[in-house]
Structure 1
């Protein structure tokens, strides 16, 4: 009987190491290591969820919402995904949560990054 209780306690302890959120975060990190983004100039660079998260916060999203946006984008990211598609998906996420955040992002793109309507729409520069 003592062994059965010991086994049960051990199993409960072991379960702690497989917390669903920890497994999900670990899986997302593994996925992002396998995904390259194709920039407008053709360069490839690894997808980095934190870039999306920080950009969403700069657009006005609170940290928790920004983190959710980063995770949502990471879930749909695929190898060779164009940066313009990522931008469009981020804009959709921002708009769905708060249209003002989307407008903040677009204003930043136009003013600071000097991006015109084509770049904001995800079209290649001519």
Structure 2
């Protein structure tokens, strides 16, 4: 048997909640078209909180699609306040680092060359 750090046995593979749902025949639980009533309600509360904080526009088109909003909710186990904090932090980081400008102006050839250098 191989061992990890300081002779301890390797950690077992942890089954994610999505893979457990997939095995139960409920995949993709927590995704559009597969939300429980509680998850739908959390999404509505999340949208309302984002709108109240001026972090999201309903559109059309919305500033962020439902798939994106659901990623934050799943990541924070459907706790709307936690998802809101993570979303706000992400948007502040994107603004501070001019990510939207980068996406609009990046030269794909230059990006591909730098990606190859980093991955070596």
Task: Report the TM-score range of the alignment, normalised by the length of the smaller protein.
Answer: 0.3 to 0.5
Q: So what's the TM-score if we normalise by structure 2?
A: 0.34
More strand by percentage: 1
**Structure 1 length as normaliser, TM-score?**
0.33
Structure with the higher fraction of residues in helix conformation? 1
- Between 1 and 2, higher relative CO (CA 8 Å, sep ≥ 6) is seen in 1
